[in-house]
Amino acid sequence: MSSGVSTGVPRRALLASCLLAGALTGCTSSGGAGAGGRAAAGAAGLRRRAARASTGLLARYDATAAAHPALAGPLTPFRDIVAAHLSALTEADTGGAGPEGAAPEVPGEASRAVSELATAERQAADERMGALAEAPPELARLLAALAAAGAVSAHLLNEVRA
C-alpha cells in the first residue's frame, strides 16, 4: 500500500481480533424467561445505550475519514468492527440505535484526530464494562466482548500514523 499511512499492525492481526470478537459474541439474541418485563426493559435499555455509543463511533470514524482522506484506508478495518458491533447490538431491536445528532468535529491535525478516536473507543469500552453488573448474563457476555474489542481497537489506533 502506498497511501503514505502505516499502522504498524498487520491487517491480518486486526482482522483476526475482529473474528475473535465475533466468535465471542456469536449468540446475541435474547432467550429464556428472566425476572420479568422490567429486567427485559433494562436489558433493552443497556443495548440501546451501547448501540448509540457505536452509532456515535461510526459517525466519528466517518467524519475523521472525510476530514483526513489519507486516514480513510487505515481506519476502515476499525470502522468495520464498530459496524459489526452495532449490528450485534441491534439485531433483536426493532427501534434501532437512531442518529446521534450532528457530525462530530474533527481536529485539523490527523494525529490528534486519531488520538480522539482512540479516546472515544476507550470511553465506549469503559461504559460497556461498567454496564456488566446490570446486564443479564447473555448481554453481559456480549458487552464484555465488545468492550474487549474496543479496548484492543483503542490500543491499535495508537499505531495509526498519518
- Whole-number pLDDT of residue 103: 81
Tens of pLDDT, residue by residue, the chain (162 residues): 444 555 555 555 555 555 445 544 444 444 444 445 566 678 889 999 999 999 999 999 999 999 999 999 999 999 999 999 999 999 865 455 555 567 889 999 999 999 999 999 999 999 999 999 999 999 999 999 999 999 999 999 999 876
For 144, other C-beta atoms within 10 Å of its C-beta total 18
Residue 122 in grid coordinates: 476507550
Mean pLDDT of the chain: 81
DSSP letter for 27, please.
-
Instruction: Let me know: does 75 contact 160? Beta carbons within 8 Å.
Output: yes
**Distances in whole angstroms, Cα of residue 116 to Cα of each of 78, 100, 123, 157:** 14, 17, 10, 10
Tabulate helix, strand, coil % of the chain (nearest 5). 65, 0, 30
- Whole-number pLDDT of residue 29: 43
DSSP letter for 26, please.
-
